[in-house]
Structure 1
Amino acid sequence: MSTDTTTTGAKAEPGTLKETERVQQGPGGPGRGPMGGGMIGQKADTFWPSLKRLLARLRPERAKTYAVLVLTVVSVVLTAVGPKILGRATDLIFAGLIGKDVLASGATQEQAIEALRAQGEDRQADMLASMDLTNGVDFSSVADVLMIVLAVYVAASLLAWLGGYLLNDVVQGTVLRMRSEVEDKVHRLPLGYFDKQPRGELLSRVTNDIDNVSQTLQQTLSQMLTSLLTVFAVLGMMFWISPLLALVALVSVPISMFVTGAVMKRSQGMFIQQWRRTGTLNAHIEETFSGHSIVKVFGRQGEAERVFAEQNDELYEASYGAQFVSGLIMPIMMFVGNLNYVIIAVLGGLRVASGTMSLGDVQAFIQYSRQFTQPLTQVASMLNLLQSGVASAERVFELLDAPEELEEERGQSAAIEDAHGEVRFEDVSFSYDPERPLISGLSLVAQPGSTVAIVGPTGAGKTTMVNLVMRFYDPQAGRILIDGVDIASIPRGVLRGRIGMVLQDTWLFAGTIRDNIAYGRPGATEEQILEAARATFVDRFVHSLPDGYETVIDEDGSNLSAGERQLVTIARAFLSDPALLILDEATSSVDTRTELLLQQAMAALRSDRTSFVIAHRLSTIRDADLILVMEDGSIVEQGSHEELLAEGGAYARLYRSQFESPAEEAEALTH
């Protein structure tokens, strides 16, 4: 085994945040507040392109979408025809009541009209001339008209219901695909993305924002489609009845558009801030609740509450501003609609009196004027929800558009079928921040079946080496080979499937202890699971639990001790039977006696496979075949335990600080 390394600098915080986002700087580091924070948008992104992209996601459901469109059009047309037909019933009643008085003397309609003209009552004469008078109300004809109206409205309602049913299917199918895309995207994102994103912020995008998009599509598509079609259908009927009154009604359209555009321009930015601040608050809550015991131990409840109050107030202000400004649309539109209604009613009454319109047509037109302004008001009110939904969609699209891991080169994936575990670093350089180099020109060879221990101070680059082997990150220069194959040409899934890893920070999911162990090898038999548990001493404490291996571990594993959680993760790695084993402070959470037992278990686990062991407790790596001592990304010493102690260098100083005189060593280091 050989090494050839040089490096400068120290590890930097990985990545930078988006330029369009303001970073909350605090003790938590860039991108995080004092107790974990998030990112707050300074300005709104483009509304119409995002809306167009959101609607384009309906394309896979185009057949159902077209069906919804046809059903809605027919339903709206039938609804629009209804008042016109109903106006005929009003004309029959009005003609019957007037005719009963006019024809009671036995005079005909023509004689009554001539008599009125002779008296100078030309306006009343013109009104009678436009009517088909009858001696009394023809209730049979009125009933026929009402039955036709009833049939029209029932048909319109049934078609609207069927269209709504299909639209619900379209929307939920679209949101289902969006959730699936987000889930797949998360698994394709590089580890660096999660280093830059607060977990609560990411969860907010995946849950709150997608739910808001679903609600927006569900409520706006149906109502806005119906409202817009109603506007055109009603407008056509209004021009059919009276072009003059229709032009009067159209005066409200430019007024409505001007008001809506002005309010939307101001409120859209507020909605973007509302959802960004929601993500910020979620990030703080998630982090504070996850570390609740730490917060209480260090007495930081007051600071946590202060940060929560600040972020909650910011969310309140953003939400209040967005809802208040966008909420101005409806009352303004209602005022314009009511003003328009009064004008039409007055002009319509004058035209009935002049005989140029029938009372039924005026009644129908007044209904149409209400139907005309009402959908405009509904569209305006829906813009409130639409803006909120598009703001959430933009945040989801930001996640979907995030750079993914580099494309896999699958040509040589079969070359590691018979892996022996040789690991070779060839002039590898890597840094999280280009301005602050971490590892430069690192070269080493780990022979098959050997145990390589990596020691050094915090930040020396030990875990970074492991991350490079796992392809959590790719080196900027040089290459890493396993059994002579460049890992850049090995699909990540294939590579990681042959590597077992036990981290200092344990990760267990909500499930039974058996399920958590079996996670290391899908399809493992019961005997294999139990063998792994016995080899790693999980079996020793499991039987003291009420349900044994069926004991359910909660989300953060709080019903097991830290050492027990670590044992379960080691059993998981044992079960996977990897060709390459990585142990990153794997025994730091267990007691001394268990550590000795685990060393025996891991010695068996490490046999016939290459192992990388990162350790601060040097007692755990005395038997390593090779010990690498790292400082600032460089390997400054290498050799066996005895050889390094004899050299009296960095390793010897670390060893003495742990086993001989820690206080004296610390004092010497300070000088």
Structure 2
Amino acid sequence: MFRFFETRIDFRKKPPEESPPDTLWGFYWHFIRQAKGLFIALFALGFVLAVFEALIPWLIGRLVNALSTTSPEGIFDEAGPLLIAMAAIILVVRPVGTILFRLLVNHSLAVSFTTMVHWQNYWHVVRQPLGFFQEDFAGRIANRVLQTGRPLRETVLSVARAVWQILIFGAASIGLLGTQDWRLAIPMAGWFVLYATLLGVSVPRIQTRSRHSSEARSAVTGKVVDSFTNIMTVKLFGRRKDEDEYISEGYSRLNDAFMSQQRINTLYVAGLTLLNAIFLVATGAVAVWLFSANRVDAGTMTTALLLSTQIVSMSGWVAFEVMGIFENVGTVQEGMKTISRPLTMQDKPTAKPLTVPRGEIRFEDVTFSYGEGDTVIERLDLTLKPGEKIGLVGRSGVGKTTLVNLLLRFFEPQEGRILIDGQDIADVQEESLRGKISVVTQDTSLLHRSIRENILYGRPDASEEAMREAARQAHATDFIERLVDGRGRRGFDAHVGERGVKLSGGQRQRIAIARVILKDAPILILDEATSALDSEVEAAIQESLATLMEGKTVIAIAHRLSTLQLMDRLIVMDEARIVEEGTHAELLENGGLYAGLWSRQSGGFLALRRESKGETV
């Protein structure tokens, strides 16, 4: 039985292609519609349970009348059907309905539906372009993705189990009392009107302040994760006190926002308590007055008192649920800021997989700028022949890494296009594009998984032997075999910590190079690939890189110009454009920008300083 309800939702199925809407109802419906049958069943059960819950006081009233007009010996003959009906409701309808309700809530919706929301939130957000993640705290993005599922679920469940049931119960109660004497229904109808007014006044404020609390909580999460992620920097600069103040400021804002939210909650409960007291007195007064005037019998008066007492009892629970509903709505609204943002830079419907039979790369009249900032690349034309190896040279910030990011389609140029073997990369499938390009960057981040998994990330279907050979070629085997993590896992099974923090920069770089060797893509990008290595290891790996580069089209970026001397061609960039190109020897002979950079790196700058001091060089 449990398994039946637990398998009603398959959270692993492919999510809808469209982005979750940025309107509140649209966002809710985006997920609810995927399990609408279960929610319809939930509301139907709630309707049945609420109607039968209202019938019990009415049956008790009828029983009171029977007891007051029948002798004890004849009570079963007179009230037998009433007793059977009450027993059926109490022993069969309520237990069966409640169990079914809990099965739907606990086993179909509380787990699988929430997991589905979490999974689809992640699935959508992870497909945003790189710039999306560069604009915000990773912790805040993760918090919004993970915090939205539970409050979205709880909002709907609270409506089904509380608001919906009290509405049905109230409507049934007003109908039952109205058929006896319309005046008995007036206090209850008035209570509903005033209750709705109280909600109308309180709910927008609860919702707004709940959203502010959620925003403050996400901000604190982002700051804490940022601090922990950069804990080395915090400790190296001895800034723990400043960091404490920075984080405590966030907690102060969270505390103030939560206090403000609690004030509204308390005022709401106080107003409801006063309303319930007036309602109980009014219902009792009307019932007693009608009974004293012989307008209603004792059973009807009993029914009115029981129903009103039950309404008051339910209202406290409903008040708690309603506050929860709008606190949850506020949390969902805050999460929507991240989740409901439309996906950009997605594959076109007609996009096809990229094929790279030769490896020619052409940048045609490419212009790019970040937002409203200065132009980083302006009307750039560059062609890489198949198998050609070029080095990008230039001062920091001239657009070398940006050019690589455009080739990887992390960003799209405002003008121009980029072609690989004649295929515009804007028209091919993003995953296939990056599958044909291997990259080793200066800032190497590893996944907090085993070394084996990190290397196999380059080619998951590779054999163990191929994986180990890639590590050997990257000169990583020696240090890998010595590794032991905190749980006793050794060698290739050892985990590397978040972003590879347990390894040195050089060790991380060698793992990254092993990953690229294993991937063996036809286009290779080296962005300061050996910057974190010592000279001895770098010299050894250069041999592996030379082997790796054979037959591939290569773009290499390095500030140490000595590492680029063996490139087929060097491209010198300055002020968003290509200003020089040629071999190392040709550029030195020209005496231009490259020659100046080379002179400073090879000792010329030191020589100039000595000459200025009158020293003999």
Provide TM-score, normalisation by structure 2. Answer: 0.88
**Equivalent of 2:87, from 137, 150, 156?**
150
- Change in Cα spacing, 1:557 to 1:293, as seen in structure 2 (3 Å) is same
Show the counterpart of 2:457. Answer: 519
Name the CA distance, whole Å, in 2 between partners of 1:396 and 1:172: 19
Q: In structure 1, how many angstroms separate the alpha carbons of the residues matched to 2:72 and 2:203?
A: 57
Larger relative contact order (Cα-Cα within 8 Å, sequence gap ≥ 6): 1
Instruction: Indicate if the aligned counterparts of 1:264 and 1:326 stay in contact, CA closer than 8 A.
Output: no
**1:666/1:283 CA distance change after superposition, 3 Å:** farther
What is the rounded CA distance, in whole Å, between the counterparts of 2:406 and 2:609 in structure 1? Answer: 32
Out of 115, 123, 126, the position equivalent to 1:184 is 123
Tell me whether 1:256 sits opposite 2:195 in the alignment.
yes
Tell me the equivalent position of 2:509: 566
Aligned to 2:272: 333
Q: For 2:477 and 2:195, how far apart are their aligned partners in 1?
A: 73
CA distance in 2, matches of 1:273, 1:281: 12
Q: Distance in 1 between matches of 2:27 and 2:482?
A: 56
| 1:154-169 mapped onto 2 (5 Å cutoff) | 154=91, 155-168=93-106, 169=108
Q: Is the CA contact (8 Å cut-off) linking 1:201 and 1:280 kept in structure 2?
A: yes
Tell me what 1:195 maps to. Answer: 134
Query: Which of 349-358 and 468-477 deviates more?
Result: 349-358
Q: Secondary structure at the match of 2:367?
A: strand
Q: Is the 8 A contact 1:260 1:380 kept in 2?
A: no
Query: Hey, what does 2:388 align to over in structure 1?
Result: 450
Counterpart selection for 1:551 from 475, 479, 494: 494
Q: Cα gap change, 1:368/1:649 in structure 2, threshold over 3 Å: closer, same or farther?
A: same
Tell me the secondary structure at the aligned position of residue 438 of structure 1: strand
Q: Contact 1:267–1:325 (CA<8 Å) still a contact in 2? A: yes
Q: Distance in 1 between matches of 2:602 and 2:529?
A: 20
Offset, 1:203: 0.9
Match of 1:585 in 2: 528
Task: Name the counterpart of 2:288.
Answer: 349
Q: Which amino acid aligns with 2:496?
A: I
- Match status 1:364 vs 2:307: no
Residue of structure 1 equivalent to 2:478 = 540
Change (3 A) 1:357 1:403: closer
| Distance in 2 between residues matched to 1:417 and 1:629, nearest whole Å | 29
Judge conservation of contact 1:514–1:550 (CA < 8 Å) in 2: yes
* Counterpart residue number, 2:179: 240
Larger Rg: 1
User: Which residue does the alignment assign to 1:77?
Assistant: 51
Q: How many Å apart are 1:549 and its aligned residue?
A: 1.4
Matched, 1:472 2:410: yes
Q: Secondary structure at the match of 2:172?
A: helix
Displacement, 1:135?
A: 7.8
Q: Secondary structure in 2 aligned to 1:57?
A: helix
| Shift of residue 138, structure 1, vs aligned partner | 4.5
**How far has the Cα of 1:327 moved from its partner?**
3.6
Match of 2:581 in 1: 638
Distance in 1 (CA, whole Å) between partners of 2:432 and 2:26 is: 39
The worse-fitting range, judged by mean Cα deviation, of 571-580 and 379-388 is 379-388
The one-character-per-residue Cα deviations of 1:521-563 (angstroms, maximum 9, x if unpaired) are 1211112111111111111222222422122222232222211
Equivalent runs, 1:37-52 vs 2, <5 Å: 50-51=24-25
**Cα contact 1:228–1:379 (8 A) shared by 2:** no
Whole-angstrom distance in 2 between the partners of 1:265 and 1:396: 18
Residues 1:502 and 2:440 are matched in the alignment: yes
Whichever residue aligns with residue 80 of structure 1, its letter is: A
RMSD over aligned CA atoms reads 2.6
What does the per-residue CA deviation read over 1:394-414, in whole Å, with 9 as the maximum and x for residues that have no partner? Answer: 234333432323343476746
The counterpart of 1:615, out of the listed 550, 558, 563, is 558
What displacement does 1:350 show? 2.8
Q: Distance in 2 between matches of 1:86 and 1:452?
A: 91
Percent of residue pairs identical: 29
Residue in structure 2 matched with residue 433 of structure 1 by the alignment? 371
Asked if structure 2 preserves the Cα contact closer than 8 Å seen for 1:271 and 1:387, the reply is: yes
Relative distance call for 1:569 and 1:249 in structure 2 (3 A) is: same
Deviation at 1:662, TM superposition (A): 4.6
CA distance, structure 1, for counterparts of residue 139 and residue 72 of structure 2: 77
Match 1:302 to one of 241, 256, 262: 241
Q: For 2:567, which of 624, 635, 650 is the aligned residue?
A: 624
Local SS of the residue matching 2:458: coil
Question: Which segment is superposed worse, 342-351 or 569-578?
Answer: 342-351
Distance, in Å, in 2 between the alignment partners of 1:515 and 1:482 is 30
1:368 Cα deviation (Å)? Answer: 0.8
- Tell whether 2:262 aligns with 1:323: yes
Q: Does the 8 Å contact 1:501/1:581 carry over to 2?
A: yes
- Whether contact under 8 Å (1:210, 1:392) holds in the other structure is no
**1:286 is the counterpart of 2:260:** no
Contact kept, 8 Å, 2:151 with 2:329, in 1: the verdict is: no
Q: Which residue of 1 aligns with 2:63?
A: 89
Output one character per residue of 1:454-488: Cα deviation in whole Å (capped at 9) or x when no partner. Answer: 12222111100000111111111111111222212
Instruction: Give the AA of the match of 2:530.
Output: T
Asked if 1 retains the 8 angstrom alpha-carbon contact of 2:43 and 2:160, the reply is no
Instruction: Report if aligned partners of 1:220, 1:385 keep a CA contact under 8 Å in 2.
Output: no
1:198-237 maps to which residues of 2 (within 5 A)? 198-237=137-176
Query: Are the counterparts in 2 of residues 86 and 146 from structure 1 also a CA contact under 8 Å?
Result: no
Match of 2:12 in 1: none
Rounded Cα–Cα distance in structure 2 between residues aligned with 1:245 and 1:252: 12
Aligned AA for 1:599? Q
Corresponding residue SS for 1:587:
coil
Give the C-alpha shift of residue 435 in structure 1: 4.7
| Gaps in structure 1 of 5+ consecutive residues | 1-46, 96-131
Tell me how many residue pairs correspond in the alignment.
585
8 Å CA contact 2:144–2:335 kept in 1: the answer is yes
Aligned partner of residue 543 in structure 1, secondary structure: helix
- Measure how far apart 1:296 and its partner are: 1.2
Q: Is the 8 A contact 2:213 2:257 kept in 1?
A: yes
**What TM-score, normalized by structure 1, do the two folds share?**
0.82
The one-letter code matched in structure 2 to 1:256 is: Y
CA distance in 2, matches of 1:253, 1:666: 88
**TM-fit CA distance, 1:655:** 2.3
Q: Give the partner amino acid of 1:298.
A: F
Find the aligned partners of 2:429 and 2:611 in 1 and give their Cα distance. 49
Is residue 22–residue 340 contact of structure 2 (8 Å, CA) maintained in 1? no
Deviation, 1:657, is: 2.6
When structure 1 is superposed on structure 2, of 455-464 and 47-56 the one drifting more is 47-56
Q: How far is 1:266 from its partner?
A: 2.2
The answer to whether the aligner puts 1:64 opposite 2:50 as a matched pair is no
Distance in 2 between the 1:504 and 1:668 partners?
Answer: 35
Deviates more, 1:545-554 or 1:132-141: 132-141
CA shift for structure 1 position 442: 0.5
Q: Is the 8 A contact 2:449 2:496 kept in 1?
A: yes
Q: 2:23 and 2:589 mapped to 1: Cα distance? A: 68
What secondary structure sits across from 2:379 in the alignment? strand
1:274 aligns with 2:207: no
Distance in 1 separating the partners of 2:227 and 2:351: 46
**Alpha-carbon separation, structure 2, partners of 1:666 and 1:628:** 29
Specify whether residues 407 and 144 from structure 1 end up closer, same or farther in structure 2 by C-alpha distance, changes over 3 A only. closer
Q: Is the 8 A contact 1:427 1:478 kept in 2?
A: yes
Residue from 605, 617, 620 that aligns with 2:548: 605
Provide structure 2 residue ranges, at least 5 long, that are not aligned to the other structure.
1-20, 485-489, 613-617
Equivalent residue letter for 1:59: R
Cα distance in 2 for partners of 1:56, 1:342 equals 45
Q: Say which of 460, 469, 486 aligns to 1:531.
A: 469
